[in-house]
Structure 1
Amino acid sequence: MLGRASILAYFALICISSIQDTNAARLPEHMALRSSEYEPHTLMKKHGGEGTECDEKDFRKSMLKLIKEMPLIGLFDDIKNETKFEASGMTIAPYQDKQYDTDEWLWIVFDNLHALGRVDRHFEFASKKNMLVGHKPGEKDSQFEGITYVESTGNFIVMEEVRYHDEHDKLHPFTHELRLTADGTQYETLRVCPVHYELKHENKGFEGVHFQQRGEEGLLMGLCEGNHCWGGKRGRDAGHGRIVVAVSNGKHGEECGWDVLKTVEIPRTAFFTDYSGMAVRGNRIAIVSQENAALWIGTFDFEALEFTDEGRVFNFPRDNHCDIMYCNVEGVSWDRSGSCFRPCMAELSCCACRCNNGD
């Protein structure tokens, strides 16, 4: 087994108009995902109906195009004796390595490893450019679910999904602020801080993270995995996604923390059963879902802390039978520019896994 999320894939958004205009060519609400008319995972119509969702024109227009994919285990020249890479989040951030001319890299977190994956965006097999940074063998699973880069400090913030807060014996997400060492092979943990948002389930916490500078204030955005920020049946109540926005309390050491400013409702066009990753570029937010094998993109106002449009849904590729090919899409990142590099196209990277073989 190579792990649940062992594929790194590069997708293109094929759209009728520029991806910068997310209102254009918006899918009808009933096409926002697999509707109840279809059997989950097979997408064959229920009750003896003919055809599949893939036969519908609007659905075909919403399909992402696969450019390239690579097993994560095949990317690293030195896998540090690891056999499982459960990729759970990613971001693009700079790092100047004197050996290579690459100035921006994909940085990946794994929920089973404490290492950061540094990957050249060409996805070269067993490349010496790619490495596991800060590998700590033998430690328990990290529960890292998201990563974001802070330009003002050059540090990373990694989101730990959920754990008990010792002081209050309640469940909270935690952030880890990491700084790379001078040679880039290790990292130092500067501080670990709770987000002051109580979670109700041990396995349903924050799945994505983004740090946004707003004037002199830094905003931390955490994407809840479950609807209503819950687990269980309520957490599967599709179309009630939430993003928690918080600011630092300004304290240091063990007293550090993030105070919640607002819980933002994701538009119901993102009619997903779960939410597994988030990426921000400019005023656009991309959100992926594991269970729905889909991507939603909407426009966000960082002053009002609210979405300004209904957004648009794109679907990950299906096979010839319209079966879902990527069952566990765990992370997403915009390309370098975040905008169309040619007419009607934009690129994103995702960490996922193939449904049937997981490698």
Structure 2
Amino acid sequence: MPEETSQLIDTTRSRHHPPRLLCVWQLLAALVLFALLAKMGNEGKLESIIPMEGVSHHSNEKRNKKETKQHVKATKKSDKKIEPIHLACEKGTYSERTLQLAYELPFIALFADTLGQTKFEASSVVIHDDSAYAVCDSSWSLSKFRTDLQPFSPDNVQIVSTKVHKKHKDESGYEALFYDAGFFYVVRESIRQRDKSFHAEIEQLLVQDQQYSVVKKQMTEFEFEGDSKGFEGAIAIHDHSDNEALVILALCEANHCSEELKDDVGNGKLVAMKSNGTVWTTLRIIDVPPSAAFHDYSAISILGDRVAITSQEESQVWIGRLKGLVEGRLWDIDAIEFDVDEGTVYDFPKDHECQTIYCNIEGIHWMNEYTLLAVSDKMKGRGKQDFRCFDKDQTAHVFVLP
């Protein structure tokens, strides 16, 4: 080819396809492709390539902004996917933010005689006279067992009702349990009344040997939107200004105590109630601090003024303080509020891949200032929960704070 022709072709090629400009267009194309892939990942079509450090099932973005009802419904399915390995497990913060398992045992292995029960959907636990007592929302009996969780111990027994009636064929709906002045109290989450309204019911139980009887049953004045998001935990305190009258602090399962607003995280509520002889009347509603930014609230326990509140969905526990304690168990009811300057969230232990395995914590009780006794419900089947949840369900656990 003549030299003049060769030079002409090279000049034309460089005019239409400058090498540097071509590189810039290639770089821009790569950036656009990367952005599209990231967007697909956020929509659940691809896994996020950057693991999020934090809670086990929900991103920090969800936790830090209020969502509209439509957005909550649209993203609900993505909450159920398993997140990649958490960076917290690799960067030295795991031991600072995670409870340590001391020991545990499935409920079925606690009792030499389960009285025919094959499932233990544990929902609450308390310690009284060095023994633990738990209720299951699927059962009308109380489980009494040693706090060292000795398998098949003769001290571990089922306490049954002295009065068996047709309702006992149904599930109890017992979601909270506490002890006060010689009696146990159980809270039925939310029951439909004759006027079609929904209220929790509180039963006062007298336990004698391996039987209990219902001394009194009273409805709560506080009303719920339905039967699935009522009270999940309760503790007993006493009013110093009213002859030390019993006051119940009941923990709502849902944010705002509302089915409709349940996913507006960080809006937990305690309802303070006092009995007028026939109904548990509402005294006040107390805000749980936003630092307990949970999608649900499953249990509460108090030791002095120190409070533990768990979340089943987040597999976490919030530890903080409650103001208003006068002395002992006497409280200034009007002054009760949480100390917003205190409050730490801890994870329940993860597996070797830093994935959630304690998926169903529904009961919590202080053993001492460093140790917590917890109980777990039955895992949800048919793909509603990950298979990792199975190993720890229907179990009693003892955890140590970091």
Aligned to 2:390: 356
Equivalent residue number for residue 270 of structure 1 = 292
Normalising by structure 2, we get a TM-score of 0.70
Distance 1:127 1:156, change over 3 A: same
Q: What is the CA distance between 1:355 and its match in structure 2?
A: 0.2
CA distance in structure 1 between the partners assigned to 2:248 and 2:215 by the alignment: 17
Distance 1:205 1:144 in 2: 11
1:322 and 2:346 aligned: no
Specify the SS of the correspondent of 1:228: helix
CA contact 1:42–1:322 (8 Å) conserved in 2: no
CA distance in 2, matches of 1:37, 1:287: 22
* Aligned mates of 2:199, 2:239 — CA distance in 1: 24
What residue number does 1:174 align with?
201
TM-aligned CA deviation for residue 173 of structure 1: 0.8
| Secondary structure, counterpart of 2:119 in structure 1 | coil
1:1-26 Cα shifts (integer Å, max 9, x gaps): xxxxxxxxxxxxxxxxxxxxxxxxxx
The residue number in structure 1 matching 2:265 is: 238
**Distance change (3 Å), C-alpha of 1:205 and 1:43:** same
| Cα distance between partner residues in 1 of 2:309 and 2:275 | 24
> Is the partner of 2:390 in helix, strand or coil?
coil
TM-score w.r.t. length of structure 1: 0.78
In the alignment, structure 1 residue 222 sits paired with structure 2 residue 250: yes
Counterpart of 2:104 in structure 1 is: 69
Cα deviation, 1:48-94, whole Å, max 9, x if unaligned, reads xxx53433444441100001110001101110011111110011112
AA aligned to 2:372 is L
2:84 corresponding residue in structure 1: 44
Within 5 Å, give how 1:292-303 maps onto structure 2: 292-302=314-324, 303=332
Aligned residues: 297
Counterpart among 87, 90, 114 of residue 55 in structure 1:
90
Residue 332 (str. 1) matches residue 356 (str. 2): no
Say whether the 8 Å CA contact 2:55–2:314 is kept in structure 1: no
User: What pairs up with 1:10-159 in 2 under 5 angstroms?
Assistant: 35-36=59-60, 42-44=82-84, 52-94=87-129, 104-134=130-160, 139-151=169-181, 154-159=182-187
The Cα offsets for residues 114-136 of structure 1, whole Å up to 9 and x where unpaired, read as 10110111101111100010155
Structure 1: any 5+ residue segments left out of the alignment?
A: 1-29, 46-50, 95-103, 340-345
Q: How much does 1:42 deviate?
A: 3.1
Change (3 A) 1:164 1:139: same
Q: Which amino acid aligns with 1:191?
A: K
Confirm whether residue 312 of structure 1 aligns to residue 352 of structure 2. no
- In 2, the alpha carbon distance for the partners of 1:59 and 1:218 equals 40
Deviations 1:228-282 (A, max 9, x none): 00114x1021111011011111x2xxxx111111111100110100000111111
How far, CA to CA, are the matches of 1:220 and 1:264 in structure 2? 12
Distance of aligned partners of 1:58 and 1:37 in 2 relative to their CA distance in 1, 3 Å threshold: farther
The structure number with the bigger radius of gyration is 2
SS, match of residue 60 in structure 2: coil
Question: Is 1:260 matched with 2:246?
Answer: no
Q: Deviations over 1:209-245 (max 9, x none)?
A: 111122222211110000000114x102111101101
- Partner of 1:73: helix, strand, or coil? helix
Let me know the Cα RMSD of the aligned residues: 2.1
* Corresponding residue for residue 191 of structure 1: 216
Partner SS, residue 308 of structure 2? strand
Give the secondary structure class of the aligned counterpart of 1:195: strand
Q: Offset at 1:156?
A: 0.7
Task: Give the 3 Å change call, closer, same or farther, for CA 56–37 of structure 1 in structure 2.
Answer: farther
Structure 2 unaligned spans of 5+ = 1-52, 63-77, 325-331, 378-387, 395-402
CA distance in 1, matches of 2:308, 2:246: 20
Cα deviation, residue 320, structure 1: 1.1
Amino acid in the other structure paired with 2:314:
N
1:20 alignment counterpart: none
Cα contact 1:165–1:194 (8 A) shared by 2: no
Secondary structure at the residue paired with 1:356?
Answer: helix
* Cα pair 1:43 1:322 within 8 Å, conserved: no
CA contact (8 A) 1:73 1:85 kept: yes
> Would you say the 8 A contact 2:121–2:376 is kept in 1?
no
- Higher relative contact order, chain-length normalized (CA < 8 Å, sep 6+): 1
Percent of pairs with identical residues: 30
